[in-house]
């Protein structure tokens, strides 16, 4: 019996039943309570014939969005930006076609209004993705700061570009310096270097999606999706390292942020608004969905 199943037998039984019924192929689990690690391990397979372990590199999808949000918060603390700064202060070419009034705050609380842009990721360069977003118009009938709609990808590229233009370094390098390395998230990446991908390829878990009731393998584990950065969706690493990030926030920012910064980022900045993307009410902080089951379990993304 593994340490995980000894500590959490009922949970592990549910995971095994899910594998048996083809709900998933494996699970990586990390739990801590007030600084004490309760669970850190894996069950099932990361890819066919390869066990899921505590060290497997899993894709975090939107659970990684707050990493970029808190990188912006670090620059806010340092005085490099204000949340009510217009995006065009840092990216002048963005300020066109109705997008001129959009601020960093609007990007972070999903009220900016340029959701449907095809960024081309991962098949085009970062620069081309930014060009496409900057040339896109404001959505029709969108009231900036009032209309609410989850931006899956487009706004997160713009946040990453703001980081780059302020600091003059690539987004991937900045994320390591601002967030990952200070929190000892050294095996996590928001865009892997090619040599790291080659070295760690066998540790990268497959990602499946369900089509017509069947699990279908995606290509999200391939080189392009692992190497090419997408600030809103391709962070990956062992789940314990993502846990360290959220532990930092639960600990009022120690050792990386001021307590008032954390409070501002996770306080409800948008409350009771119907989200046009998710099609139900969602409360937002700055880069965070807050208390996602407040409006019922069926509304949890």
pLDDT tens-place string over residues 240-297: 999 999 999 999 889 999 999 999 999 999 999 999 999 999 999 999 999 878 888 7
Strand partners, 148: 275
Q: Pinpoint the alpha helices (H) of the chain.
A: 3-7, 9-20, 65-77, 104-108, 126-135, 154-167, 171-175, 194-200, 223-227, 239-250, 259-266
User: Would you call 288 helix, strand, or coil by DSSP?
Assistant: coil
Every domain of the chain and the residues it spans? 57-299
Query: Residue 185: pLDDT band by 50, 70, 90 thresholds?
Result: very high
Pick the CATH number of 57-299 from 3.40.50.2020, 3.40.50.880, 3.40.50.970, 3.40.710.10: 3.40.710.10
Question: Of 90, 85, 78, whose CA–CA distance to 102 is shortest?
Answer: 85
Query: Rounded to two decimals, what is the model's pTM?
Result: 0.95
pLDDT, mean of residues 157-166: 99
Fill in the DSSP letter of residue 205.
P
Mention every residue, 6+ apart, whose C-beta is less than 8 A from residue 244. Answer: 183, 184, 185
């Amino acid at each position: 019996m593994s340490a995980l199943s000894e500590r959490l037998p009922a949970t592990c039984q549910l995971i095994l039943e899910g594998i048996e019924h083809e709900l998933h192929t494996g699970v990586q689990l990390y739990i801590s309570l007030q600084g004490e690690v309760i669970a850190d391990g894996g069950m099932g397979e990361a890819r066919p014939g390869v066990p899921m372990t505590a060290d497997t590199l899993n894709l975090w999808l939107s659970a990684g969005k707050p990493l970029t949000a808190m990188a912006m918060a670090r620059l806010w603390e340092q005085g490099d930006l204000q949340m009510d700064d217009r995006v065009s202060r840092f990216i002048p070419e963005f300020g066109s076609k109705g997008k001129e009034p959009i601020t960093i705050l609007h990007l972070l609380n999903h009220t900016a209004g340029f959701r449907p842009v095809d960024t081309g990721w991962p098949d085009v360069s970062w620069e081309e993705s930014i060009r496409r977003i900057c040339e896109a118009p404001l959505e029709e009938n969108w009231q900036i700061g009032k209309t609410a709609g989850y931006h899956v990808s487009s706004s997160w590229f713009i946040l990453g570009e703001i980081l780059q233009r302020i600091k003059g370094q690539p987004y991937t390098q900045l994320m390591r310096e601002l967030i990952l390395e200070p929190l000892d998230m050294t095996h996590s990446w928001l865009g892997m270097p090619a040599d790291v991908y080659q070295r760690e390829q066998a540790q990268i878990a497959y990602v499946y999606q369900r089509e017509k009731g069947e699990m279908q393998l995606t290509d999200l584990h391939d080189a392009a999706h692992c190497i090419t950065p997408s600030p809103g969706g391709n962070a990956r690493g062992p789940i314990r390292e993502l846990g360290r990030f959220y532990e930092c926030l639960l600990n009022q920012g120690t050792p990386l942020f001021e307590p008032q910064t954390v409070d501002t980022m996770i306080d409800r900045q948008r409350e009771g608004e119907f989200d046009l993307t998710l099609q139900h009410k969602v409360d937002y902080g700055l880069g965070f969905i807050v208390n996602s089951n407040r409006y019922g379990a069926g509304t949890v993304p």
